[in-house]
Amino acid sequence: MASSFSSSMRGGRGRKFKSEINVVPYIDVMLVLLIIFMVMPSANDPSLVDLPSAEKSTKPPSDYVQVVIKPNGALSIGVKGKGEEAPETAPNRDALVKKLRAIHGDHPDYPVLIAGDKESKYDDVIQLISEAKKMGINRVGLSTK
């Protein structure tokens, strides 16, 4: 009887089936993906925003104040329309704001259109919009090509 007992132990019931998931390959894949996602944002320069061009939605007003921002930081301001004035360059933002305040005093109902090049700094455009709003100019827009 001892021989039949030992043969029954060897007969397939000696090993148990494991129903566990091997997570080691999943951990390896997740670590590789983590490294990829950590390296990719540093490849892009976050200070450089490439804005898309837009189609003309409406015609600009007949008379308006135009502020032009160049990528090298050069600023100019002028009046477009019936009472057109030649654009004047401003050495810095403070001088531009003073000139804008003077033009707004002469023509309080004229809207302001800010024209920035594709490579212009986004911060410069936002700062000009903020300064115009602080002056009480309600109609400030962005010019598109």
Q: Which two tokens stand for residue 34?
A: 């983590």
As beta bridge partners, residue 116 has 69
Q: Is the pTM of this model over 0.75?
A: no
Q: Which two tokens stand for residue 138?
A: 């309600």
- Residue with the bigger pLDDT between 10 and 64: it is 64
Per-residue model confidence (pLDDT) at position 135: 86
At 127, is the pLDDT very low, low, confident or very high (cuts 50, 70, 90)? confident
36 has a pLDDT exceeding 60 = yes
33 has a pLDDT exceeding 90 = yes
Per-residue model confidence (pLDDT) at position 22: 84
Q: Which two tokens stand for residue 123?
A: 């911060």
pLDDT in tens, 37-57: 888 766 665 555 555 566 666
Q: Which two tokens stand for residue 114?
A: 């800010």
**Hey, is 142 helix, strand or coil?**
strand
CA atoms within 13 A of residue 134's CA, in its CB half-sphere: 10
Per-residue model confidence (pLDDT) at position 11: 55
Dihedral over Cα of 51, 96, 101, 145: its sign: negative
Closest C-alpha among 56, 60, 96 to residue 78: 96
